[in-house]
Amino acid sequence: MKISQLSVFLENRPHSLLEPLQALAAAGIDLSGIALADSEQFGILRLVLRDWARARGLLQSGGWAVTVTDMVAIHVEDQPGGLVRILEVLAAAGADIEYMYGFFVRRSGRVAMLFRFARPELAIAALEAAGITMLGEDALY
């Protein structure tokens, strides 16, 4: 199960994070997940939201460079070692993680984490074989 994520490329200058978020808020688009990575020259704003196609169009029309990335949302037990179990399954399968971050959902003793894999199909197959729950868009929003 893959989840669409927007990656918005930002200049590394004051208020560059504020502006695309203001545009989304003004359009009534709600965020479900957000992460920010930066370098000296630019930042990458990663967004997960229900209406990602509309958000992409809005941001692109505002002049931002936007790409869509496939992510995998995984239910992680909210206890010590919960994430370790997931990482052990992925390591045993040789599934490389490019990056990951937490998501705003917390249900029934579990949290959701979003993962970007070099080979998502390999990771999904390993997780399914281990009985680890993945979430689709319907479960996240």
Domain ranges of the chain: 2-69, 71-140
Within 1-141, strands assigned E span 3-11, 33-38, 42-48, 65-77, 97-107, 110-117, 134-135
Q: Which residues contact 71 (CB under 8 A, 6 or more apart)?
A: 2, 3, 4, 5, 48, 114, 115, 116
The dihedral through the CA atoms of 69, 72, 78, 79 has a sign that is negative
3-state helix, strand, coil in the chain (%, to 5): 30, 40, 30
Q: Would you say residue 108 has pLDDT above 70? A: no
- List, for residues 60-100, the tens digit of each pLDDT value: 999 999 999 999 999 888 889 989 999 999 999 999 999 99
Name the pTM for this structure.
0.83
Class of the CATH domain delimited by 71-140: alpha beta
User: Do 2-69 and 71-140 have matching folds?
Assistant: yes
The dihedral through the CA atoms of 78, 80, 86, 89 has a sign that is negative
Superfamily for 2-69? VC0802-like (3.30.2130.10)
Reported as a pLDDT band with limits 50, 70 and 90, residue 27 is very high
Structure confidence at residue 39 (pLDDT): 76
% of the chain with per-residue pLDDT over 70: 93
